[in-house]
Each structure stands twice: as C-alpha cells, then as structure tokens.
Amino acid sequence: MNRTATIERKTRETDIRLKLDLDGRGASSIDTGIPFMDHMLSLTAAHGFMDIEVSAQGDIDVDHHHTVEDLGICLGMAIHNALDAKAGIRRYGTALVPMDEALARVVLDISNRPFFGYRVHLTHSRAGNFDVNLLREFFRGLITHAGFTLHIDLLQGEEAHHIAESVFKAFGRAMDQATTPEDRLGDLPLSTKGSL
C-alpha cells in the first residue's frame, strides 16, 4: 500500500510544495521561512513516524498568518490523499504528551466529518517572534481538508514553546495510532455504517 501524497498549492499569498509518506521513519526536510513552524512540523514527522518534505514561501513580511494557515491546508490535503479510501485503518488516535510543565491531549477521528475543538488558553503566546495562537489556524486548515474530528486540550502549561511542542508531538503520535493499519479489518473501514 503506497500511502504517499504530493501537494503543490500556489496563491497570491503563499507558494507551498509538500510531500508526505505516512509510512516513513520520521524524517523531515522543512523550509517554511518560519523557523518555529519548521521545528513544529519536524516534531510531527518524528513522533508520527511519517516523512515530510516542505518548501514554502509566503508573505511573512506581512505576518505569519497566511503561511501557517496554508501549511495546515496543504498537510490536510496530503493526509486526505495519502489515506485515499481510509480502508483498514484504526481510525481513532489519542495521545497525552508532556513537555516539562506543559501537558497536551490530542484526540482525533479520521471520520470524513471535520470538527475542531481547540482548548489551548495561553497566558503568554509569544515564542520568540512567533505567535503560538496562530497554531489554531494551522490545525483548522488541516482538519477541514483532511476530514478529521480533532480535539486539542491543554491540560497544563505556562511556557508557549513547551505548550506548542507538546501539542505537535501529541498530534504526531495520535496520527500514527489512527492511520496504522488494523489487520483484523482487512480492506474494510472501521465503521458500522460500512463507509466513512
């Protein structure tokens, strides 16, 4: 089963090429023009055992918003394409990941029903020159185009960088769990309806 996808998306605000292999080894080659996002996406790749290559150019001279959101859109499209009919996968994924004082929980359902619950309330949102509140837009774009139900909860945390790391690591681990083939299903989807 070849669970790979390549997405090329160009708008007036961004130009992104993203390659995804869901059955990789956690390798990444990422250049988004936003070092903080490079770091977060490399964490997702490593903890999700997926290979990700990203090359992105965006209007980061304006701010990071468009590039962060469009990265989520492209990753969501790639996941959707790589999973194809979604047959034989475990479908659900859950991860709790600590990063020092921060503790994040990510729960997802590869359901074809986009829903996003994001309960990450930050006292201080800056990590260097990056506004961690923008990660909401990244994940909103991702789930809309991947067709996920995704819940992200910050259970504990103070430092914005630690919070972001715990979220992205948990997302990678939940993705790995949900996309792992379940031998008992064969080519069937995990749904009593017969399809997702």
Q: What are the residues facing 53 on neighbouring strands?
A: 19, 29
The secondary structure element, H or E, covering residue 12 is none
In terms of CATH architecture, what is 4-185? 2-Layer Sandwich (3.30)
User: What pLDDT is recorded for position 84?
Assistant: 87
Cα distance from N-terminal residue to C-terminal residue, the chain = 19
Could you read off the pLDDT of 4-57 as tens digits, one per residue? 999 999 999 999 999 999 999 999 999 999 999 999 999 999 999 999 999 999
pLDDT category at 73 given cuts 50, 70, 90 is very high
Give the model confidence (pLDDT) of 116-174 as tens digits.
999 999 989 999 999 999 999 999 999 999 999 999 999 999 999 999 999 999 999 99
- Distance of alpha carbon 176 from alpha carbon 92, whole angstroms: 10
Q: Dump pLDDT digits (tens) for 94-131.
A: 999 999 999 999 999 999 999 999 999 998 999 999 99
pLDDT of residue 184: 79
Residue 60 · residue 14 · CB < 8 Å: no
Q: Could you tell me how far CA 41 lies from the centroid of its own chain? A: 8
- Predicted confidence at residue 8, as pLDDT, reads 98
Share of the chain above pLDDT 70, in %: 95
Q: How far apart are CA 55 and CA 88, in angstroms?
A: 31
